[in-house]
Chains A and B, each alone.
Chain A
């Protein structure tokens, strides 16, 4: 928890634009540099900034530890599910062309969904790591 008004105002102003930029990097990876890994880290950075300035408890009120864990699992599951769906549609595992039957749209949708899964896992893992480290310290300080 930081009482300095400069930190608090700057963090409040920056929070949304950082997430916006992360989403841009996430969904623009087909055309420019970027993708799930980078976007995941950027979005996690926004939440970490929030937690650094407003405290870990405030951060956990946005995304609770339980939700965080489920997000980690969900990201990997989404990725794997795309592979299973493409198999169910008659293609090979992770053969995106089989998703819609055409190369253009199938690859596009496949890559977009898969990258979303990557982004979700990376965001939540980074956030969980930060809270694990910072929370551990806070607990020891309380003892």
Chain B
């Protein structure tokens, strides 16, 4: 109990420290690496809360892939953040006010791990009771994710798919037109190009005929 408390305080303090450093530094490479560290610390906090599935996702997606993708994107933006000149007092007041309101709202939340909390009263008992005995799947997180709320997860998968398509249309589309341009510049010296073009156009005409 005591050890858990000490670990919690240490991790949360680390989280605040990293957040402050992210705000203070202007170098974007450092920001990316530190947001990876932020995710990893959050993952450690989730492990401490016994939410291993969430921790796993946070470590893999937040600390792993996001960092790599950000670094890949970094290659074509400036390495330093633009220094902002305006110190807006009103914005600061609104931020602090909103933060104070959120802290005030936290007072009304049920305490951590409270068995009588509303979230543990609705459908959760049924999931916990059924998952192992009736469905024979011990990991309740998986049954909730894939079975009880399978429709949600279908939506999530489609969101991932759509996001990927969106980025591909924005970036890969740009590269493709550029490649065609460079190919034209180099003239039709490469015989492979017309070869690959012919069957395509042939199928296209076949399709339009059909």
Which positions in A face B, CB cutoff 8 Å? 25, 29-35, 37-38, 41-42, 44-45, 48, 65, 69, 72-73, 75-76, 79-80, 83, 93-94, 96, 103-104, 107-108, 110-111, 114-115, 117-118, 121-122, 124-126, 128-137, 139-140, 142-143
Q: Which 9 A-B pairs have the closest CB atoms?
A: A125-B164, A133-B72, A132-B171, A94-B150, A137-B75, A33-B52, A111-B146, A41-B60, A107-B135
Query: Distance in Å from the Cβ of A27 to the closest Cβ of chain B?
Result: 11
Query: Distance in Å from the Cβ of A99 to the closest Cβ of chain B?
Result: 11
Q: Is the beta-carbon distance between A65 and B172 smaller than 8 angstroms?
A: yes
Quick one: closest A residue to B175, CB to CB? A139
Query: Distance in Å from the Cβ of B64 to the closest Cβ of chain A?
Result: 6
Contact of B61 among A41, A96, A104, A117 (CB under 8 A): A41
From residue 102 to 141 of chain B, which have CB atoms closer than 8 A to chain A?
134-139, 141
User: Total number of A-B contacts with CB less than 8 angstroms?
Assistant: 149
Consensus secondary structure, chain A interface: helix
B29 on the A face (CB < 8 A) = no
Q: Is the beta-carbon distance between B171 and A79 smaller than 8 angstroms?
A: no
Collect the chain A residues with CB atoms within 8 Å of residue B168's CB. 69, 128, 132
For the complex with contacts A118-B157, A133-B72, 18 further pairs of A-B residues with Cβ separation under 8 Å are A30-B142, A33-B52, A33-B53, A34-B56, A76-B157, A96-B147, A103-B136, A104-B135, A110-B147, A110-B150, A111-B143, A114-B153, A117-B157, A122-B157, A126-B65, A132-B167, A136-B172, A137-B75
